[in-house]
Structures are given as structure tokens and as C-alpha cells.
Structure 1
């Protein structure tokens, strides 16, 4: 893991009181929610990059690649 930092957020007082009443570890809940949101955004970003890469790969003419490989092998 990395270095820990402290952050704060504002919530409605009644929500915090209910969380305490139900023994909810607010820090843990907020930490997990933030981690999940970051993970979700990272996955979305990776999917966009994969989609972009897929579109670029689709532009490659495989026949040309095969011909170039054959030429390269003959030259060796």
C-alpha cells in the first residue's frame, strides 16, 4: 500500500448520528467507497484504452503483415 493521508467530508448530522447508533465505522465505509469508485474509474479508463487499441489493430491489413513477414524470413 501507499502512504496514508487524512481527508474530511461533510455529512448531514442525522446521518452521522444514525451511523454511530448502528455502530457503523464511518471511516471504513468512506474509505471503501472511495477505493471502489477509484477502481471503477480505472476500469472504465482501461476499457476506453482497450477499445481505442482494438480500433487501431483492426486497421492493420493482415495480408500485408503476412507478406512482410515472408519477405523478412527470406532475407534471414
Structure 2
């Protein structure tokens, strides 16, 4: 897996505070970006499931299907 450098601008005061509290800025930004991408991927997956559900005229919403799936995984383990 290759890496690229991404830069952003933040207020100087914010960066100074982050340094004062020993915040690893790169790590925080990397984690925030990963979480946002993961959240958007899930939103996309749910919208695709909803679309498939509508086209197949299923009676359950994707939220209900996901909830039931998660509950069933808990019982299997």
C-alpha cells in the first residue's frame, strides 16, 4: 500500500494548542479521514441496499435487515 502526502491549513492557534497538549496531528487527521470515509461507505451501502430493496419490492427496510443480521451474528458466536 502506497502513501501520499496530504496538506491542510489550520489556524496557527489550533496547531499551537495541539502541540502544547502533545497531540499527534498526523495521527488524528489520518484517523478522522479514515472514519469519515468509512461512514460514507456505509451510507452508500445502505442507499444501494434501499434501492435494491425497492426494486425487489422487499417488505423489510435495509435498516431492519442490517439490525437482524447483526443480532443473528451475536447468537451464532
Q: What is the TM-score with the length of structure 2 in the denominator? A: 0.72
Q: Which structure is higher in RCO with an 8 Å CA cutoff and minimum separation 6?
A: 2
1:41 and 1:15 map into 2 onto residues whose CA distance is 27
1:39 and 1:3 map into 2 onto residues whose CA distance is 19
Long gaps (5+) in structure 2: 59-77
2:57 and 2:2 map into 1 onto residues whose CA distance is 42
Kindly state the Cα deviation for residue 55 of structure 1 after the two structures are TM-superposed: 0.6
RMSD: 1.1
2:45 and 2:3 map into 1 onto residues whose CA distance is 25
Q: What is the TM-score with the length of structure 1 in the denominator? A: 0.73
Long gaps (5+) in structure 1: 60-76
> Partner of 1:47 in structure 2?
46
Between the two proteins, the alignment pairs up a number of residues equal to 58
Of structures 1 and 2, the larger Rg is shown by 1
Structure 1 runs (4+) greater than 4 angstroms displaced: none
